[in-house]
Amino acid sequence: MSLTRETIAALPKVLLHDHLDGGLRPATIIELAAQVDHQLPATEPEALGEWFVAAADSGSLERYLETFEHTIAVMQTTDALARVAREAVVDLAADGVVYAELRYAPEQHQRHGLTLQQVVDAVHAGIAEGKAEAARAGHTIEAGTLLSAMRQNDRADEIAELTLANRDRGAVGFDIAGPEDGFPPSRQRTAFQTLREANFPYTIHAGEAAGPESIWEALQLCGALRLGHGVRIIEDIELGPAGDAAGAGTQATFGRLASWVLDRQVPLEVCPCSNLQTGIAASVANHPISTLWHLGFAVTINTDNRLMSGTSMSREMELLVTEAGWTLDDLEEATLLAAWNSFAPHHIKQQIVTRQVEPGFAAARA
Ligand SMILES: [Zn+2]
């Protein structure tokens, strides 16, 4: 069977790594910017969307992060936060996403005086509205939030406490985001300790702008349950000669860290299109995701920043199929891995798998 764009669009999808401040609709940014008198580089939705992608294409993570100045600037009121969260859920549901973990850093939304708790409440209210709106359009979606602490701001202890205070009110996990290079995970060790002692899960952005050392810290010093990106684990693997099975296969030699990540099946939240913009790979065809996948790593497929990358879950999957030879079986296996490694309660994961993912893929084969 051929995997058409329509087939892929209809597949049930599970998304673990998507930034709320990286997924706004261009038209919404324009409307919100007008309300707060924020100057944008373009004032028509299509041109603005293109500007975001072009600016993020520059090749450095630092420059990529600059694009967030505009999205963050318009996300400073409870109304704006709720709207952005609502639209994100609606857009993901329309793309076939049945479970999503949306992440954002509450500390970035305090420029107009909101408390951290007001920020969290607004986002959760928006998500609830989004789920209801999606249901009215015939889409079932479950969504939770990951609260991120910005690595450079040193507020992780405070954000960890905030996350715990909201653990039964929509916050399902914790994360650190922002510049990885120069801000190793161990800087926030006490926050991770607090969360671990409270039996609360977290992922860590590691192995994107920095290499295996950062991944090692995230796992062995900080106890991350998943890795945001994590793709630079490839640097701890000596690949076999070209032409070997799966470009690596039987002749790959694993370093101790890569063995740990593979043997423990540490989930990797891989975001192919985002990595093209930050220079990790030149194309999806030669992105390390496929090598890692064929070597048996617990790869999941994610969007990171839909606005900056001009992407969606369907697009990420379609590029893996058309450029890297991924099959429907591959997509299903990666989706199941994402579902089972989400931070949702076990009974919710079971529901997502048995009521959505398995029947959805079965329907695609029918
Ligand atoms: Zn990210």
Domains of the chain (ranges; CATH) run 11-365 (3.20.20.140)
Distance (angstroms) between ligand 1 centre and the Cα of 62 equals: 13
Nearest-angstrom CA–CA distance, 277 and 307? 12
Q: What are the two backbone dihedrals, phi and then psi, of residue 144, each rounded to the nearest 5 degrees?
A: -130, 175
Whether 122 contacts 81, CB under 8 Å: yes
366, 10 Cβ separation under 8 angstroms: no
**Cα distance between residue 20 and residue 3, in whole Å:** 29
**Calculated CA dihedral for residues 244, 287, 19, 158, nearest 10 degrees:** 70
Helix, strand, coil % in the chain, rounded to nearest 5: 55, 15, 30
Reported residue count of the chain is: 366
* The pLDDT of residue 87: 98
Distance CA 30, CA 34 (A): 6
CA–centroid distance, 56 to ligand 1, in Å, is: 13
| pTM reported for the whole predicted model | 0.96
Cα–Cα separations (whole angstroms), residue 94 to 4, 136, 139, 360: 17, 11, 7, 15
pLDDT of 245 reads 46
Write out the two tokens for 355.
């009521």
In the reported structure, the alpha carbon of residue 302 is separated from the centroid of ligand 1 by a whole-number distance in angstroms of 9
Residue 247: what pLDDT?
53
303 Cα: distance to centroid of ligand 1 (angstroms)? 9
Question: Could you report how far apart the first and last alpha carbons of the chain are, in Å?
Answer: 10
Torsion of CA 274, 277, 279, 282, to 10 degrees: 90
DSSP one-letter string for 109-134: G-TTS--HHHHHHHHHHHHHHHHHHH
Q: So which residues are the catalytic ones? A: 208
> DSSP characters for 18-54?
EEGGG---HHHHHHHHHHHT---S-SSHHHHHHHHHH
253 Cα–ligand 1 center, Å: 29
Task: Enumerate residue ranges in the chain where pLDDT < 50.
Answer: 245
Integer-rounded Cα radius of gyration of the chain = 19
Widest Cα–Cα separation across the chain: 59
CA distance 51 to 363: 38
pLDDT at 345 (0 to 100): 97
Between the CA of 110 and the centroid of ligand 1 the distance, in Å, is 21
SS3 at position 1: coil
The number of beta carbons lying within 10 Å of the beta carbon of residue 61 is 20
Q: What is the per-residue pLDDT for 279?
A: 85
Q: How far is the CA of 66 from the centre of ligand 1 (A)?
A: 14
Looking at the chain, the number of H-run helices and the number of E-run strands are 18, 10
> Ligand 1 centroid vs 344 CA: distance in angstroms?
19
